[in-house]
Amino acid sequence: MESNRTWITEVVLLGFQVDPALELFLFGFFLLFYSFTLMGNGIILGLICLDSRLHTPMYVFLSHLAIVDMSYASSTVPKMLANLVMHKKVISFAPCILQTFLYLAFAITECLILVVMCCDRYVAICHPLQYTLIMNWRVCTVLASTCWIFSFLLALVHITLILRLPFCGPQKIDHFFCQIISVFKLACADTGLNQVVLFAGSVFVLVGSLCLVLVSYLCILAAILRIQSGEGRRKAFSTCSSHLCVVGLFFGSAIVIYMAPRSSHSQEQRKILSLFYSLFNPMLNPLIYSLRNAEVKGALKRVLWKQRSM
């Protein structure tokens, strides 16, 4: 049986099965969004590095989020863009597995960074007098490092379980990148263990993180309602509203993709959800933080004014 199997060396990414003319339009459309993603997150990262007023724990974590968003989009979008203008929409098996690994690692990292940012807001609003003592640079470094290390280790667990499977076809993935659930379908063996581990990991990372976020924001809301001055309440709400928008977009789309029953969405709907999750979310994050954050807008004005003075 083993000797009769044909082991796959490359995979066809079917992507968006549309007319060639529409593929060119999608190429331009997605390239524009990808450029905005890199530019927006690059600006946020640059402002945090250049403006000393943004050298605070909240913006340190935001800089990590910007790095994750750029890396996250770059793990899938360039290959998707290349396939939209190429007739042969193939990817070698090793780069396919690498793409799966990077996508998982950056997705988990973003989830954990958002939780850490929520905890930072909780300490800032509920324990303002102890904020600088609790959220010192050592704690920030440990939290950020833990997010990255844990995420890559968990992604490595999934990839290790995938590589123990025999892959002998089919050679087609009905997606625009090597998403882990689609990769399971390439195996010619039982993937039950992989799916159980993936679901357990999704529950632990997504549901666990979401519960922490909800509990933190309930405490934050209670603390805000106890603030006497209207100006203080507005400031507290404004510092949390941006993060709440990003959290809602991320967790909402992630839970639908990884935890909803497979039969509840068609494959085309899942592709659109994955696209929103991997391209539109990273593009929207810097917009949300820049448009709704006075400190980021102030830093941008100071940098632009400094450039004009020079």
Q: How many domains does the chain fold into?
A: 1
Question: Does residue 310 form part of some domain?
Answer: no
Mean pLDDT of the chain: 85
C-alpha to C-alpha distance for 221 and 223, rounded to whole angstroms: 5
* Enclosing domain of residue 111: 10-303
C-alpha to C-alpha distance for 282 and 285, rounded to whole angstroms: 5
Question: Does residue 112 form part of some domain?
Answer: yes
What is the per-residue pLDDT across 282-307, written as a single tens digit (0 to 9) for each? 888 888 877 667 777 777 777 777 76
Local confidence band at 3 (pLDDT 50, 70, 90 cut-offs): very low
Question: Does residue 136 form part of some domain?
Answer: yes
pLDDT: which is higher, 243 or 182: 182
Q: Residue 23 is encoded by which pair of tokens?
A: 């593929």
Closest CA to 39 of 69, 8, 80: 69
What is the per-residue pLDDT across 171-193, written as a single tens digit (0 to 9) for each? 888 888 898 988 998 888 889 99
Task: Give 3-state DSSP helix, strand, coil % of the chain, rounded to 5.
Answer: 80, 5, 20
What is the per-residue pLDDT across 187-239, written as a single tens digit (0 to 9) for each? 888 899 999 999 899 889 988 988 998 898 888 888 888 877 777 777 777 77
Q: What is the CATH number of the domain that holds 179?
A: 1.20.1070.10
